Structure 1
């Protein structure tokens, strides 16, 4: 088990590494107006392992009021969902929408700052283009929230951002309220290929690890410098000078304080174990390994360490470190005790059918003899994804009091024929397959359509 965050950095964690400042670039997200809505007579997968047949769900004031059965207030819109299924909104923990938007031209290539192996001071949200048509395509696939990450060229790629999948003029209008940042890290072939090809370091896996450790050590020193400064100030030393602010080390210090979640692109089991040892050395917690083609080899170790695996259903073999993949990977990582398996996309197309990707992983597990019903598999794209992003207290399950992020499916969502009929975000109907007026497109697309006419 990874030791507590205070293990090595000690009392320094009690101190803030920068002067008291308001959180920069705050979320300005406001839920859209909604009306009380009852979905009745549906098969409901609650996202926390329950399946309710012929059940109902009430949404009001942007929240889930009750699931199963209960009182319906006067004036409630009623949707008869007989023969249809309801799930929480789908959450993709690994997306590049907005930072690699459509159309895919070089002018939109904003996801990888390939100028240094350490770009922890970069924030993906500053590249997000809210008019990316990919957001509406994802909404039609039932995606209500996602984490947008920088690319994987660098050891420390920068901060990711969690977004609500709503239309807004600025990315701040999409930022999921109170969601912690993620730190995108990458191991293996990508960093050593990018910088080795330039005759720069790192050019090997050992070079990767050496640079990680150097940066974590620097972050610890940075925190100690601030601790010393804060002590001097508390003792009345008016001549005390604060350390120079370092935005890269500030991000790493926030990881050490447990305020930023590590999301690590890593394929091989041996490298993931090395990263877990490094996390123990420096006293931080790895949140999620992404891609993790070989996570099935260390499923018990991940469960013991409390680390999620955000994985593909069946992508493998496109480079050497992705070669040893099996289609039962996700099902094996979903250990009965403390397992945290997630299906992610890493694709502007895959995000549109994440339910089908989960279905593929579920079927492969079943064929291998594992007991994986729909109510368990749905957690891979709802509850577990919310846990990975630090937002499970707000969304991810159809629990009373949580955000009314809800998808009404035409059929079993694990069927290739099923489509999202209606998608609610905070109780507001944002997408309706039967209503062209609720199949919105971005301003960018509207301009293109006008030009075509």
Structure 2
């Protein structure tokens, strides 16, 4: 990045509102009507009143703003000193060392701030924050979120993401369902997200209008007070037409989601789009004809103003007044939308999800008005057919083809608190650093039409504890409209090296293969080399007495003194630490393969737990999966299975060489522990297996046929919690169960998938009861366990293990609502609390695609642990 010292200040001016008004169906001022109609006619001729090349509304000049209209009187000014300011300018390459002044809801100046500006602020109304060289960025912008409409915790009374009353519904508005008490707001702000576009869901081809909001609570506490520049059409079509226009937003969707809900094919969907736009075109053309008659002075034939409240928003799409967000995954869907935009001549602001967009960049450029931005996940692919060809290299490939890239959350699909992690992962897989940071700041702001106020150093900022693209970068403070959002923030401890841009691998070959094989490059495992010499090894971790230890460590020594490890026929035969004899001799010099780790480490393979990896290939395609087990609490088990049929074994349904499995294997995850897929009480018996195996008969493929016996207990089950506990008690006292899994004798553990602390307390009491009756020891573990931290002391004393799945808690359900969020909101995390109370803890992944990234999650947790005294 280019590092400069700069000075910027923002002057003052007052904007005047035009008081003229126009009411539909009644001529108030003839000249005003002619002006209004002139605007509409110019739009029809291709000159929209809001230029598609310049998104800044008429009359808005950031340089002349004295006060934000969102400023709350009484808010202190804030001076951030000694910061590295990533401004978002110069294609994301500009960094300025200096200070930054927030005052009256906007950034007044940054860089070297003149004394006279500070002298104009009362010292009692100025807060000084010494950043101590920390990074400052604009507030993060999430272009695709359902926060507030898909609220957390998930409750029926706050589920407003989708309407099921029709596939074409441009008249619906996400704002009308926006819950101001979503638990996610404070969590997302704690991740640096200050702005989000709240989209309707994707069950409909046209799901309705979207709204861009600031996430902070307002004094008014209303939904509308969160909206940036509310459209003038928000509460009707009667408003001062001479007022500078404001952007509107709308959601479209194509592909599988509308098809699943309405049993419609892609042919049905495109026809529904065309029919809707044809209705809108008729109204637009009638309005243009009306204005032509008005301009010609043909008052007698003027008639009534043509309008229809249901279609007015779609008419505005045709007039270029709406930023359109389109959910599309596959080339066939992009092609249909591209043709639609050219048939009816309207632009698209952004394609979303867009898993296969990287395969058709030239097609995207044919959208009417130019190529949209593309909003992507970093690695959330392969869970449905249309996402199966999605690639972690997609963002990089699109950027190489001059397509603007946005990283998004689809909150709560991905907790938007970790939106920045999506950008960091995209950077790891090859998206340039400047574009990775831009993908969650400037580019989504541009796509939403608000980069005149957000996405750059203009209104909202975040101060980070480390370089924003380092693993686990966490806000020290988030400011929205000049107001600090995190009360008493906890600053995580990171080494100085975390202030620098991380090094990443070179994935040129993998990215090229992804395009060559149209998203499905071969992943088959390779046979072991006869001899492999790993050189420049910093750490060599091995398992000794059930603990992982570093057999040698050379700390921060020079490259010349790093060690070597020789592997022959899959076994380590020589370890050379600094100063020891070489592992190379004349006999093996020519035949061996050499791999330079460049200061990296060798370690035992990782184990993944928690997802359906190995039993589900494409989660939402039943024909590719093992399928769910029978649950005795939801209905009778077929007699042919036998009386103990709920003890289904995952080993019988394993399938190897799945893409998620092999990608995980390539990322160092060599073992998976997977139970059968179960959504209720009964889950069955898990198996442990080798992720790199080709089939179950291969030597070493099945590591353990019976790993654990799994049940699930939660408030959303088919029966009451007390009924589920009674069923578990009966199972544990049943001789048939003891014969099958020998849980009470301690041969294998029982894993209870549970989130709620009260249920865990009951399970601890049940453990005591069973052990008292049987005289044996019950090996018990909790999986999921979002609220386990609340019972950490009791869990530790009971010798019960915990598998945090996921390791970063989120209050998705009522059972998970009492989470411990960790920095910057709390000092501790569930992991640190459990460790402090001597609980054996593991971490897991809920999603199959996440298994390949478990090493990042592990490292993230370890950095938090490293700052926790006594651990």
> TM above 0.5, one fold?
yes
Tell me, in whole angstroms, the C-alpha distance in 2 between the residues paired with 1:359 and 1:417.
9
Q: Which of 235, 249, 258 in structure 2 is aligned with 1:182?
A: 249
**3-state SS of 2:430 partner:** helix
Q: Which residue of 2 aligns with 1:217?
A: 278
**3-state SS of 2:179 partner:** coil
Q: Quickly say closer, same or farther: Cα 1:319–1:8, change in 2 above 3 A.
A: farther
User: Which shows bigger deviation, 78-87 or 146-155?
Assistant: 78-87
Once the 2 structures are TM-superposed, how far is the Cα of residue 244 of structure 1 from its aligned partner? Answer: 6.3
**3-state SS of 1:391 partner:** coil
Asked if 1:249 corresponds to 2:304, the answer is: no
Once the 2 structures are TM-superposed, how far is the Cα of residue 152 of structure 1 from its aligned partner? Answer: 0.5
Q: CA-to-partner distance for each residue in 1:67-102, whole Å, 9 max, x for gaps?
A: 332324133433211242111000001111111112
Written as runs of structure 1 = structure 2, the 5 A alignment for 1:57-76 is: 57-72=100-115, 73-74=118-119, 75=123, 76=126
Once the 2 structures are TM-superposed, how far is the Cα of residue 207 of structure 1 from its aligned partner? Answer: 1.3
Tell me, in whole angstroms, the C-alpha distance in 1 between the residues paired with 2:485 and 2:365.
36
Once the 2 structures are TM-superposed, how far is the Cα of residue 61 of structure 1 from its aligned partner? Answer: 2.4
Is the Cα–Cα contact under 8 Å of residues 8 and 282 in structure 1 kept in the other structure? no
Q: Which residue of 1 aligns with 2:77?
A: 36
Once the 2 structures are TM-superposed, how far is the Cα of residue 433 of structure 1 from its aligned partner? Answer: 4.8
Which structure is higher in helix share? 1
Q: Which of 430, 438, 447 in structure 2 is aligned with 1:365?
A: 430
Tell me, in whole angstroms, the C-alpha distance in 2 between the residues paired with 1:378 and 1:9.
35
**3-state SS of 1:39 partner:** strand
Written as runs of structure 1 = structure 2, the 5 A alignment for 1:96-245 is: 96-168=146-218, 169-177=221-229, 180-196=247-263, 203-232=264-293, 235=297, 237=299, 240-242=302-304, 245=307
Asked if 1:264 corresponds to 2:326, the answer is: yes
Tell me, in whole angstroms, the C-alpha distance in 1 between the residues paired with 2:109 and 2:464.
19
Written as runs of structure 1 = structure 2, the 5 A alignment for 1:227-376 is: 227-232=288-293, 235=297, 237=299, 240-242=302-304, 245-302=307-364, 305-335=370-400, 337=402, 339-348=403-412, 349-365=414-430, 372-373=432-433, 375-376=434-435
Is the Cα–Cα contact under 8 Å of residues 166 and 174 in structure 1 kept in the other structure? yes
Is the Cα–Cα contact under 8 Å of residues 326 and 352 in structure 2 kept in the other structure? yes
Tell me, in whole angstroms, the C-alpha distance in 1 between the residues paired with 2:443 and 2:487.
26
Is the Cα–Cα contact under 8 Å of residues 40 and 54 in structure 1 kept in the other structure? no
Once the 2 structures are TM-superposed, how far is the Cα of residue 189 of structure 1 from its aligned partner? Answer: 1.0
User: Which shows bigger deviation, 137-146 or 417-426?
Assistant: 417-426
Q: CA-to-partner distance for each residue in 1:207-235, whole Å, 9 max, x for gaps?
A: 11111111111111111222334445563
Tell me, in whole angstroms, the C-alpha distance in 2 between the residues paired with 1:244 and 1:53.
53
Written as runs of structure 1 = structure 2, the 5 A alignment for 1:426-437 is: 426-434=481-489
Q: Which residue of 1 aligns with 2:830?
A: none
Tell me, in whole angstroms, the C-alpha distance in 1 between the residues paired with 2:206 and 2:476.
40
Once the 2 structures are TM-superposed, how far is the Cα of residue 384 of structure 1 from its aligned partner? Answer: 0.1
Is the Cα–Cα contact under 8 Å of residues 300 and 335 in structure 1 kept in the other structure? no
Could you say what the CA RMSD is over the residues aligned between the two structures, in angstroms? 2.8
Greater gyration radius = 2
Q: Which residue of 1 aligns with 2:479?
A: 424
Unaligned regions of 5+ residues in structure 2, if any? 1-39, 50-67, 231-245, 492-813, 819-871
Is the Cα–Cα contact under 8 Å of residues 155 and 187 in structure 1 kept in the other structure? yes
Tell me, in whole angstroms, the C-alpha distance in 2 between the residues paired with 1:341 and 1:353.
17
Is the Cα–Cα contact under 8 Å of residues 54 and 82 in structure 1 kept in the other structure? no
Higher relative contact order (CA 8 A, sep 6+): 1
Q: Quickly say closer, same or farther: Cα 1:7–1:303, change in 2 above 3 A.
A: farther
Once the 2 structures are TM-superposed, how far is the Cα of residue 248 of structure 1 from its aligned partner? Answer: 2.9
Written as runs of structure 1 = structure 2, the 5 A alignment for 1:373-452 is: 373=433, 375-398=434-457, 402-403=458-459, 405-434=460-489
